[in-house]
Structure 1
Amino acid sequence: MHLRNYILAFLVILVSEFSLKAQVKPFVEVVNTRVEYVSNPIGIDVLRPRFSWEIKANVRNIKQIAYEVRVSYTDDHLRNGGPYLWSSDKVQTDSSNQIVYEGPLPKAFDRLYWTVRIWDNQNHITDWSPVGIWETGPLGPSDWKALWVEADQPSDGKENPSPMFRKTFRLKKDIKSARLYITAHGVYQVEINGQKPNDWLFNPGWTSYNKHLQYQTYDLTSLLQKGENAIGVTIGNGWYRGMFRWDNIQNMYGNKLGLLAQLNIEYTDGSRAQVISDKSWKWSTGPILMSEIYHGEKYDARLEIPGWSTANFQDKNWKPVTVGIYDNRNLAAQSGPHVRPLITLAPVSIFTAPNGDTLADMGQNMVGWIRLKVQGRAGSKITLHHAEVLDKDGNMYYDNLRTAKQIIEYTLRGGDTKEYEPHFTFQGFRYVKISGLKKLPEKDQISGIVIFSDMDPAGDFACSDPMINQLQHNIQWGQIGNFLDVPTDCPQRDERMGWTGDAQVFAPTACFNRDAATFYTKWLKDVAFDQFPDGRIPHVVPDVLKSGGSTGWADVAVILPWTLYRQYGDKRILEQQYTSMKAWIDYMKAQSGEGYIWTKGGHFGDWLAFASTASDYPGATTDKDLIATAYFAWSTRLFIQAAEVLGRQRDVTAYQELFRHVRGAFQREYMTPNGRLSSNTQTAYVLALAAGIVPETLRDSVAARLAGDVKRFGHITTGFLGTPLVNPVLSEFGYDDLAYKLLMRKEYPSWLYPVTKGATTIWERWDGIRPDGTFQDAGMNSFNHYAYGAIGSWMYSTVAGLQMDPVIPAYKKIKIKPAIGGNLTFARTEHATMYGKVSSEWRLDDNVLTINAVIPPNTTAEIYLKTSDARKITDSGKLVSDSKEIRFLRMEKGHAVYLVGSGVYSFRSE
């Protein structure tokens, strides 16, 4: 018996050892291949797209040393050795990001196939990656054979029903592929043979329509059939002609709704056909009586038209369309992510308010709408009112919506239970007032449909403090609620505009939380399109206010492209925006004159900074001219760096001279010889230090003054412009303890004060709800306003310790350097970089520090471990000093610094 047990034990050990060896057999492969940031995009208009890929490996220290890309017109050619449209041949480089296609230029409606393989530093040659594709759409006006068709229904200041367009057509053969290229004046939804092809919302998005109108590409292959087919399109006012701004003007871009549609069909025998929008189309109206971005929707289900987008529908009573004349030079392919319904929430409670209203609490300040399931007699009406918060008595609070109504009116058709969702409107809300029901609804009758631009999740953060975790939650929900095709300031009141200052300060946090590359790239096109001839940047983009030039807001023209380059290694965004960046710098130069101090024009200043009294004008604490001149220098410095990246040496030289002038002028005008600024505020000090305009000999002194101000107040005093910089600057100069105190503070003003008040998103004001339960000024008191969420960037980079190299972009070189503090016992973060997922986690247990890190292939990292004795540091239980894979670099301020390649690490330091 003992012998048998011995043999069994031996066999178990043998099998285990064999399995272990089998598990560590090296493998390396290419994964997550993308074209222009997207997997297998269709309908793009980029002639020289860029390829990116990641490398997956099960061994450490994998680095690419060469790649080869092949492109062809067919999948078979790639699989069978050619012929190729283009082959890069073997390129000796470690670059796997933003690789430019250099083959023959594609034509409109081309489909191209591609694959890549790599060589690595450990003598592996990968298999070819799975074949990817990209397709071009229309590349210019001549590629459009379709005509603009419109409903004869000009806006006259009244509520107008949404027009419905339709067309039947016959396909004679079996279908290989079908692509619909379509856009609209207004926002549209398309149906094919009674079905929606996907769940995209608010197409064609919001752009500077007269200069930049996007078309979308739908794959309709599976929805079409040989024989009779039909297409139907419903159009709402949207941003094109809807009620807009706080003065509710209409017809911002035009007063007629219409569409442009071109369906390209390839049959299985290789022949082709085309269906276009033309005068043969018809239109009518239906159940959507009114649908407005701000004000909601009126829907009468009795007016529904069953089967209206099917081929056998009789449309003899429908009206003929009119043909509109437009030159189509403003048309461009969709370049950002689509808005989609991505999260569904159930109400946490349904209750009767003190005033008798029936309310549903969705548990989260959200953006989207309510999906309603109801049954009742024909003609009965259900009304939904939406609000972000309840007043201190527990009733709905609407005042901060200003003129936005956010009301849904649904008239029942009768019969069985019906499910309804709005079409061309969205609301910002947590609470819903439900009128028209005879009793409290059941929870399954109400769903919260959360909509936002479909950006892949990119990063996350957690720590040992639940309130900080709630802050992170609020940051993320504030982002998705305001990233609805453009980066809006707020999603609920009569504004919802692309405020440039908010976008500028939040961009680093946004790019960490979500893959925002294409989202911002699309929006920056409109920043350039709407730029004034003198170089000013509008306050909001798209520009519906027709004003601009405020420092900190307009600097988005420089700071955001630079942020995207740093985050994604994207040189093309610098090339795309370079003229716009330069024009903004030149505008500031012209405004500043020979003295290089910017004193002209109107500026928002450090908007909504802490005020000692309620009557203080927001943003008046720090001298606006000081802020303007600091931003002048900062943007100029970033522009110089962009010019260096692009090899524009003449501009580098010229603008370095300009920077020296601005820096000198700032020091003479606003700084004493011992480093005191004329505006003795936190915002003044952090701006001067971040902009690089403090003399090297005074930087520590200026930082000490900043720290002194923080200690004196005991809290943050900054507004929109200063807030993103306070904690990073404090940490840069060794004041992590003060930065943590600001983060952990729970009293007003602080990031956690709203959390103590039950916030689920970031607020516009530090005290939107005062300690006594009353509200700040309703004229400007949004409870979903992401700007102050810019603290997230510091949490990820300093609390959790995941940092990017200051020179090499896109996390090609990583730094893991957490600042242990704030009474936290652990913090972790992860982020999907262009090279793969990187993570950093630290834990402190009885003065033993553990740092766990995942470094993706084709990158390296410097890892900082706080220690009293580097000789005792271990990785996965083994002394680091014995490792051949980990290189000791130096001791730095009590930290042992190591250089590592890709892989999984678990360091332990006592």
Structure 2
Amino acid sequence: MLSVNKIRIEYKETPVGLDNPVPRISWQLGAQQRGVLQEAFHIQVSAEDPLFQSTVWDTGRMVSDRSIHVPYDGEALSSCTRYYVRIRAWDRQGNVSAWSETAYWETAFMHHSEWTASWITPSESAMDPQTEAAFLLRNTFTTDKPIRRARIYATALGVYELQLNGTRVSQDRLTPGWTSYAARLQYQTYDVTSMLLAGGNVIGIALANGWYKGHLAWEKKSNIYGDRRAALLQLHVTYEDGETRVFGTDSTWKASTGAVLYSEIYHGETYDARLEKDNDYRYDYDDKDWVSTEVLEQPKDQLVAQENQPTRVVHEIRPVELITTPKGETVIDFGQNMVGWIAFNVTGNPGTTITLTHAEVLDAEGNFYTGNLRAAKQTNTYMCKGGAQEQFEPRFTFQGFRYVKVEGYPGTVDLAKFTGKVVYTDMEPTGTFECSDPLINQLQSNIVWGQRGNFLDVPTDCPQRDERLGWTGDAQVFVRTAAFNMDVASFFTKWLRDLKADQHDDGGVPYVVPNVISGHSSAAWGDAAVICPWVIYESYGDVRVLEEQYDSMKAWIGYIRGQGEQEFLWNTGFHFGDWLGLDAKENSYIGATPTDLIATAFYAYSTNLVRKTAAILGQKEDEAHFGELYDNIVQKFTNEFLTPSHRLAAPTQTAHVLALMFDLVKGPARERTAQTLNRMIEDNKFHLTTGFVGTPYLCPALSANGYHTTAMKLALQTSYPSWLYSVTKGATTIWEHWDGIKEDGSFWSDDMNSYNHYAYGSIGEWLYGVVAGIKTDEEQPGYKRIHIRPQPGEGLTYSKATLESMHGQICSEWRIGQDGKSMTVNVTVPPNTTALIVLPGALQDRVQEGGEKLNACEGITQVGQMGGEVHLEAGSGAYRFEYPLSESMESMETVKS
């Protein structure tokens, strides 16, 4: 049976609140048989008509194998309207599916002019606008007829929480999120139909500083975007008789403060339950003590509907141990370095004060340690109302922690009354990786937890100290690993729009996005403008992200070309270089690899990606222009950094890695560069010396150039410096420094020592893409054509990776037999895709699939022997290949590519 499943609009299932005039529709095919490809599709879209008696777009039978990112091409979309969609498909055998289950999306405001409400804030004459306490805003309204639909559209200057009749409107947290507020401010759409009461209703908004005017970065700045908190809300109520009424924020709203006395992203929250506004959710509540509000003149043309997935509590964690430290501190261990906050229950006398301080590690003596937090306090304080059991969790802050020091808790601390709430952007998990080595499995867990902790609305560098910024370099080195673990397409689409908004007029790219610090345009950091959209394109088949970012990508190359006197060599300006490379000079964070080599290498790499982008977008003149520029940069790189005898001038691991990965050395020079890199690793007893720039590409460069065994030994290394060193030290996330905790238990410098910093987690790309062997074809991105090429190696006997691609689940699993002489490879290829499957150490006539010879297998269209590998062309389906390993596969070494 052929079926159409998992319909998504702009990556989301049944999204409410889109303002995209041309949303894209994607779906997956379901099929039992092998080799299924879509021949045609039929899409119907109706406006407010789930029965499709009338349509605003009907494609008819459209011959196409496209099943992702099909752009809507019907009548112009109206605001605040639900659009239903259903799809059927034909395969190449003539089978037709039934209509899919009906999906839908709902528009928000398609024009800024539809905002009729006003920005409001407490009247300055009645309340100090700089008070640390959270604002409470309140208003009432009545409904007097049966209601068909009700939607709230809301945003804030600050972060807000919205209640209707005393109940949270949604589980979204820290809304409206963090964007480049001057250019782009998100608003959220909430379906509140079931929450309205017949007669009187009450809307309440709590409003705190958040990123908008709170303290950001280490420079102790606040009010970066503005010095007044404000809210904007519009409620649209559609009655059964067709009438629509709009209730919005205006100067009739009332304001007060309440129990939240203080709330800052870095420092935590102070909550006095004695100051709660009892019954303020009631329509008949007496708000005579509340003060007036005033309209704040603020633009609305920067408002955009929510783009990425919202921030939510995604997991809950129970404590694993109650510790009394040598200093006598009471500390709860949650067993996992996480990001979010603690919820707890308590019964205490009025005014009893409980303080929770959060930290990532204990020191060598086992005492609570906060030195690496720098100025961030990470402290939540709760004062009891008294009487019955009370529950508290903060609302406008978050912490990075594993350990929580508890002070002032009445009686004995009961672990059952404490829960860790894990908070991050609610991205769909898409990938899994596991293997026969438990330390590598823990490393993969650490990578995923690092992504959870640092993908909180923006890709942050660390979630605990006074930083938590969207460092561009960190984002670009990790983006491909991130796209394996989770669906990050809309997450990066949003962030890249902020990058474009904050990009300088000359094309320079800030170090962080959204930009709240000084400094811009370091090589490998600014290159996020090119690398991130390219990886999203490859991973999701998303051409639109290239279209949107194309001018930004070109501007970045233009910026580089305009630096200094040599247009094909970048040897001017400040660069972070191979940040935190272990070969750095004493008292330096910058590794030994010359910064002009790194800068020129990235200049070449990004230029080539822009050339490819120009070709995809049909920009022929640009394609030729950037192609010529790329050739000139490569030639200049050769002249500047390569000797006549093909020796790379810089004797560092990172220099050799970049030259190989960015294809800057050819022929004999490539062979010598790879040999030298391999020798460097061997001479260093299979330890790395790379920093942020070299580390992501280290194992991929070795594996791709004939030294997979070395890459495996490097990845499986447990002594310092290595990926697994931190695992042996009990890490549950990725560290910023290879020796964040030293062998003697002492710490790296407090100045910059995060224990949740995802950059070195970029090894995940190699685990998925090389060890398990799942990659997409650049010519057919989004895993429309899949490459499955597992690469076993010394130290592992088993590996399995799965990836929920846009087309469906991909699986690559291999296992070496107990005798070490046979191999099983299991592969799953989703419908409407094809795959190149490479079986390592195999001889064509000795491979069986499901007990049959390869030439008799359904779904396999081509078979060929290439060296010690069998290459297969396969259609969709699940395959099980079994074969004895060829005698020539003594070292499991990959074929040089």
TM-score calculated relative to the size of structure 1: 0.95
Cα deviation for residue 256 of structure 1 reads 0.9
* Matched residue, 2:857: 883
Q: 1:501·1:552 contact (CA, 8 Å) conserved in 2?
A: yes
Q: Are 1:43 and 2:43 counterparts?
A: no
What residue identity is the alignment partner of 2:474? D
**Which residue, 595, 618, 636 being the options, matches 1:665?**
636
- How far apart, in 2, do the equivalents of 1:141 and 1:864 lie? 53
Give the match for residue 709 of structure 1.
680
Any conservation in 2 of the 1:64–1:858 contact (CA below 8 Å)? yes
Q: Could you tell me which residue of structure 2 aligns to residue 115 of structure 1?
A: 86
**Corresponding residue for residue 120 of structure 2:** 149
The SS at the match of 2:195 is coil
Rounded Cα–Cα distance in structure 2 between residues aligned with 1:889 and 1:872: 12
Query: Residue in 2 aligned with 1:573?
Result: 545
Instruction: Please state how far the C-alpha of 1:822 moved relative to its aligned partner.
Output: 2.9
Give the secondary structure class of the aligned counterpart of 2:563.
helix
Aligned to 1:735: 707
Q: Secondary structure at the match of 2:341?
A: strand
Q: CA deviation at 1:111?
A: 2.1
Tell me the equivalent position of 1:909: 883
1:260 corresponds, among 232, 249, 272, to 232
Distance of 1:652 and 1:788 partners within structure 2: 33
| d(CA) in 2 for partners of 1:893, 1:388 | 50
Which residue in 2 is equivalent to 1:293? 265
Distance 2:111 2:513 in 1: 25
Which residue among 174, 181, 188 is the counterpart of 1:209?
181
Q: Which residue type is aligned with residue 250 of structure 1?
A: S
Q: Deviations over 1:835-858 (max 9, x none)?
A: 001111111112210011111100
SS in 2 for 1:659: helix
Is 1:75 the equivalent of 2:49?
Answer: yes
In the other structure, the counterpart of 1:187 is 159
Amino acid at match of 1:292: E
Question: Which deviates more, 852-861 or 306-315?
Answer: 306-315
Please report how far the alpha carbon of residue 510 of structure 1 lies from its aligned counterpart in structure 2 after TM superposition: 0.3
Are 1:634 and 2:612 counterparts?
no
Residues 361 and 721 from structure 1, CA distance in 2 versus in 1: closer, same or farther, beyond 3 angstroms? same
Q: Is the 8 A contact 2:561 2:567 kept in 1?
A: no
CA deviation string 1:587-618 (max 9, x = no partner): 000014445211111110010011377x2412
The worse-fitting range, judged by mean Cα deviation, of 708-717 and 211-220 is 708-717
Deviation string 1:482-527 (CA, Å, 9 cap, x unpaired) is 0000000000000000000000000000010000000010011100
Residues 612 and 107 of structure 1: CA distance in aligned 2, closer, same or farther (over 3 Å):
closer
Q: CA deviation at 1:806?
A: 3.5
Which of 519, 528, 532 matches 2:491? 519
CA deviations on 1:341-397 (whole Å, 9 max, x unpaired) are: 011111100121110000100000010011111111001100111110000000011
* Corresponding position of 1:11: none
What secondary structure is seen at the aligned counterpart in 1 of 2:576?
A: coil
In structure 2, the CA distance between the partners of 1:157 and 1:745, relative to structure 1 (3 Å rule), is: farther
What are the residue-to-residue correspondences of 1:279-358 with 2, within 5 Å?
279-358=251-330
Report what 1:559 is aligned to.
531
Structure 2 CA distance for partners of 1:504 and 1:612, relative to 1, 3 Å: closer
Give the conservation status (yes or no) of the 8 Å contact 1:152–1:256: no
Instruction: Kindly state the Cα deviation for residue 710 of structure 1 after the two structures are TM-superposed.
Output: 1.5
Partner of 1:18: none
Match of 1:492 among 464, 470, 491: 464
Q: Is the 8 A contact 2:471 2:513 kept in 1?
A: yes
Greater shift, 855-864 or 829-838, is seen at 855-864
**Match in the other structure for 1:510:** 482
Q: Counterpart in 2 of 1:21?
A: none
| Structure 1 residue ranges, 4+ long, deviating more than 4 angstroms after superposition | 153-159
Distance 1:887 1:519, change over 3 A: same
Distance, in Å, in 2 between the alignment partners of 1:871 and 1:341 is 53
Q: Which residue of 2 aligns with 1:270?
A: 242
| Alpha-carbon distance change, 287 to 884 in structure 1, aligned in 2, over 3 angstroms | closer
| Counterpart pick for 1:851 among 825, 838, 844 | 825
Q: 2:744 aligns with which of 772, 786, 789?
A: 772
| Contact kept in structure 1, 2:855 and 2:863, CA below 8 Å | no
Between the aligned residues of both structures, percent identity stands at 45
Q: How does 1:838-877 map to 2 (within 5 A)?
A: 838-845=810-817, 846=819, 847-877=821-851
| Comparing 59-68 and 884-893, the one that deviates more | 884-893
- The 5 A counterparts of 1:127-166 are 127-152=98-123, 160-166=132-138
Alpha-carbon deviation of 1:415?
A: 0.4
Deviates more, 1:384-393 or 1:120-129: 120-129
Mapped to 1, the partners of 2:859 and 2:35 lie a distance apart of 7
Question: Which amino acid in 2 is paired with 1:525?
Answer: R
Could you say what secondary structure the match of 1:343 adopts? strand
Alignment coverage as a number of residue pairs = 880
Instruction: Tell me the CA shift for residue 226 of structure 1.
Output: 2.3
Aligned twin of 1:622? 593
Q: Distance in 2 between matches of 1:592 and 1:660?
A: 19
Aligned partner of residue 322 in structure 1, secondary structure: strand
Partner-residue secondary structure (3-state), 1:347? coil
In the TM superposition, residue 77 of structure 1 has moved relative to its aligned partner by 4.7
**Which residue in 1 is equivalent to 2:696?**
724
Secondary structure of residue in 2 paired with 1:492: coil
| CA distance, structure 1, for counterparts of residue 544 and residue 373 of structure 2 | 40
- Contact 1:70/1:86, CA 8 A, preserved across alignment: yes
**Aligned with 2:152: secondary structure?**
strand
Partners of 1:594 and 1:844 in 2: CA distance: 53
- Which residue pairs with 2:377 in the alignment? 405
Determine if contact 2:584/2:590 at 8 Å carries over to the other structure.
no
Give secondary structure in 2 for the equivalent of 1:142. helix
Contact residue 482 and residue 785 of structure 1 kept, 8 A: yes
Write the deviation string for residues 550-607 of structure 1: whole angstroms up to 9, x where unpaired: 0100000000000000000000000111111110000000014445211111110010
Which AA in structure 2 matches 1:885?
A: G
Distance apart, 1:74 and its partner CA: 3.4
Q: CA deviation at 1:474?
A: 0.2
Q: Aligned AA for 1:139?
A: M
- Closer, same or farther in 2 for the Cα pair 1:889/1:874, shift >3 Å? closer
Amino acid at match of 2:378: Q
Partners in 1 of 2:843 and 2:860 — Cα distance? Answer: 17
**Counterpart in the other structure of 2:72:** 101
Say if 1:662 and 1:579 are closer, same or farther in 2 by CA, change over 3 A.
Answer: same
1:639 partner amino acid: V
Task: Name the residue aligned to 1:897.
Answer: 871
For 2:148 and 2:357, the matched residues in 1 are separated by 47
Q: State the shift of 1:694 in Å.
A: 1.7
| Distance in structure 2 (CA, Å) of the matches to 1:674 and 1:805 | 35
> C-alpha separation between the residues in 2 aligned to 1:649 and 1:697?
33
| Contact 1:745–1:753 (CA under 8 A) maintained in structure 2 | yes
1:771-804 Cα offsets, whole Å, 9 max, x none, are 1110001101000000000000100111112122
- 1:604-623 equivalence runs, <5 A: 604-611=576-583, 615-623=586-594
Deviates more, 1:589-598 or 1:42-51: 589-598
TM-score between both structures, scaled by the size of structure 2: 0.97
- Within the candidate set 60, 64, 68, 2:38 is matched to 64
Query: Does 2:421 match 1:449?
Result: yes
Consecutive unaligned residues in structure 2, runs of 5 or more: 885-897
Task: State the match for 1:92 in structure 2.
Answer: 63
Give the distance between the partners of 1:275 and 1:74, measured in 2 at CA. 23
Unaligned runs of 5+ in 1: 1-26
Q: Is the contact made by 1:481 and 1:491 (CA closer than 8 Å) also made in structure 2?
A: yes
Mean alpha-carbon deviation: is it higher for 285-294 or for 301-310?
301-310
For residue 897 of structure 1, give the secondary structure of its aligned residue in structure 2.
Answer: strand
**2:168 match: secondary structure:** coil
1:33 equivalent in structure 2: 7
**Distance (Å, rounded) in 1 between the aligned partners of 2:795 and 2:513:** 42
